[in-house]
Amino acid sequence: MEAKQANGQALLRARFGIDLPETTVPEAIAGLLDRRVTRRYTEQDVPDALLDALLAAAQSAPAKSDLQQFSVVVMRDRARIKRIADWIGTMDWIATAPVFLVWCGDMRRGQRLCALHDMPHANNNLDTFLNTAVDCTLAMGQFMAAADAVGLGTCPISYVRSHIERVSPLLGLPAGVYPVAGLSVGWPVFRRPVSMRLPPSMVVHRECYDDHALPDAIAAYDERRGAREPVAAGSQKNGDIYLPREGVGWSENVARQLSVPERFGFAAYLKTRGFDLA
């Protein structure tokens, strides 16, 4: 029992860089605290029977109103996966994975069900868009947890949305279906270090939202995180606008990224693909 508690504390310290002595980590969730993305895969294949079990776990995620508004495209053809990797250009780990999944929000199925039953689909709106994204993301998260549990590695790839006008036709995505994220899947060559998260006190609010302690808490987090994994010059965001320099912390790097619009054409694209977003 004591050994398990010590292991739990070690996991918490690795995840947050601070001690959380009041927190006890049940053995059953230890793997969730210890997870990390994988960005290098061995040549070993992922058998279909295993992949199908992981996808069944993904479909077991909760779904808003049981509407089940997501789809996933399984890619195993290395040449097709490489095309996506090449479009993205900066993420060569995508092409090393034997499986690439594209998780999609899916409003189309509901529209077809309404048509089948001779009823209008009266929910082509922002709420449905959000619900499709949430259903999809919960399923992807459950897939990742299941994959981790059997020793596989995964890495979500939001960059499929940066090339949505090429990825969508490659996958034959019809109107009403859009990619939320890609996910590379394979056996890890090595396990990356655990990435340090914000302290729970910043993220978990008790009864009411309260972020008055943000400046001090972030300064301490930047320092803890920088001591373990400094932001390398090559990882500093938007280096063409902000000169790379020593001592850029996590929060400044976040600000560097968020100060420049990303994928600002996404809503316009979705509107051409059947989403009203009203």
Ligand X SMILES: Cc1cc2nc3c(=O)[nH]c(=O)nc-3n(C[C@H](O)[C@H](O)[C@H](O)COP(=O)(O)O)c2cc1C
Question: Within 13 A of 267's CA, how many CA atoms are on the CB side?
Answer: 9
In the set 37, 67, 114, 175, which binds ligand X (CB under 6 A)? 37
Cβ proximity to ligand X, 40 vs 121, nearer residue: 40
Cβ proximity to ligand X, 176 vs 188, nearer residue: 188
**H-type alpha helices, the chain:** 2-16, 30-33, 48-59, 78-88, 93-96, 108-116, 126-149, 164-171, 200-203, 214-228, 250-258, 266-272
Cβ proximity to ligand X, 110 vs 159, nearer residue: 159
Name residue 220's beta-bridge partners.
none
In the complex, minimum distance from the CB of residue 161 to ligand X, in angstroms, rounded to a whole number: 9
Should residue 138 be labelled a site residue for ligand X when binding is judged by CB under 6 A? no
Among the candidate windows 23-31, 157-165, 225-233, 248-256, which touches ligand X by CB under 6 A? 157-165
Q: Which positions from 43 to 62 touch ligand X by CB under 6 A, shown as an x/- string? A: --------------------
Should residue 91 be labelled a site residue for ligand X when binding is judged by CB under 6 A? yes
In the set 99, 133, 181, 231, which binds ligand X (CB under 6 A)? 181
Residue 45 sits at φ, ψ, to 5 deg, of -80, 165
In the complex, minimum distance from the CB of residue 73 to ligand X, in angstroms, rounded to a whole number: 16
Which of 181, 171, 186, 163 lies closest to 88 in space, CA to CA?
A: 163
Cβ proximity to ligand X, 5 vs 235, nearer residue: 235
Should residue 155 be labelled a site residue for ligand X when binding is judged by CB under 6 A? yes
Q: Which amino acid belongs to residue 33?
A: L
- Alpha-carbon distance of 155 to 103, in angstroms, equals 12
Size of the site for ligand X (CB under 6 A): 10
In the complex, minimum distance from the CB of residue 119 to ligand X, in angstroms, rounded to a whole number: 34
Q: Apex CA 152: angle with CA 185 and CA 8, to 5°?
A: 130
Q: Give exposure, 24-40, as e/b (b: 16+ Cβ within 10 Å).
A: ebeeeeeeebbbbbbbe
In the set 81, 85, 139, 157, which binds ligand X (CB under 6 A)? 157
Binding site for ligand X (CB under 6 A): 36-37, 91, 155-159, 181, 195
